[in-house]
């Protein structure tokens, strides 16, 4: 059986929200969903938060050029050898100083030390969550496995 997991992470990869903020967000998630399994993870290191099989390419967030998956995979290799502590890159298209975390992933993905996961939500629940996190400094990742 395939799974659909909605993941919510702080926009900046090193942000670790305090307990009070984490509980407030989890409570909101429970209010916006019905009987869904909600879990959270805290990581010691910056961790790649993937979108599973949802992948349709990556564009430069500066000039919107499509980036080669091979170039991206190479950057991932280099950055992972340093536990993703430094995500700064120079884009191959327009030589801009950017972050791997801020590239335009057509299916969003990112890097984080904290993630909240909601298992198999309904689409109307996801839309509510999306609207909620627009007002806080988080982003939403839709992962299919
Ligand atoms: Zn560019």
pLDDT tens profile 71-122: 999 999 999 999 999 999 999 999 999 999 999 999 999 999 999 999 999 9
Distance from Cα 31 to the centre of ligand 1, integer Å? 40
Instruction: Work out the end-to-end distance of the chain between its first and last CA atoms, rounded to an integer number of angstroms.
Output: 9
Which residues, listed in sequence order, are joined to residue 58 by a DSSP beta bridge?
Answer: 105
Alpha-carbon span 2 to 32, nearest angstrom: 23
User: Which pLDDT does position 135 carry in this prediction?
Assistant: 87
How far away, in angstroms, is 103 Cα from ligand 1 center?
A: 10
- Choose among 117, 121, 113: nearest CA to 141: 117
- Report the percentage of the chain scoring pLDDT > 90: 97
- CA of residue 2 to ligand 1 center, whole Å: 35
Element (H, E) at 59: strand 58-59
Portion of the chain with pLDDT greater than 70, in percent:
100
Residue 4 and residue 130: Cα distance in Å, rounded? 15
Buried b (16+ CB within 10 A) or exposed e, 40-58: eeeeeebbebebbebeeeb
Q: In angstroms, rounded to a whole number, what is the distance separating the alpha carbons of residues 38 and 30?
A: 8
Q: Is the pLDDT score of 51 beyond 90? A: yes
Indicate the SS3 state at residue 98. Answer: strand
Assign 1 a pLDDT band (cuts: 50, 70, 90).
confident
Residue 65 Cα to ligand 1 midpoint, Å, equals: 6
Q: Tell me which residue of 80, 97, 76, 96 sits closest to 88, measured CA to CA.
A: 97
CA distance linking residue 56 with residue 37, whole number of Å: 27
Ligand 1 centroid, distance to 69 Cα (angstroms): 14
**SS3 of residue 36 by DSSP:** coil
């Amino acid at each position: 059986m395939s799974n659909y997991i909605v993941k919510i992470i702080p926009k900046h990869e090193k942000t670790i929200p305090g307990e009070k903020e984490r509980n407030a967000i989890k409570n909101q998630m429970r209010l916006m969903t019905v009987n869904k399994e909600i879990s959270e993870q805290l990581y010691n290191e910056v961790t790649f938060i993937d979108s599973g099989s949802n992948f349709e390419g990556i564009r430069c967030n500066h000039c919107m050029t499509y980036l080669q998956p091979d170039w991206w995979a190479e950057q991932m290799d280099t950055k992972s050898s340093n536990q993703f502590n430094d995500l700064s890159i120079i884009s191959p298209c327009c030589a801009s100083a950017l972050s791997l975390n801020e590239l335009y992933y057509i299916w969003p993905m990112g890097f984080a030390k904290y993630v909240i996961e909601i298992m198999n939500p309904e689409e109307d629940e996801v839309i509510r969550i999306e609207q909620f996190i627009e007002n806080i400094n988080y982003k939403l990742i839709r992962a299919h496995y």
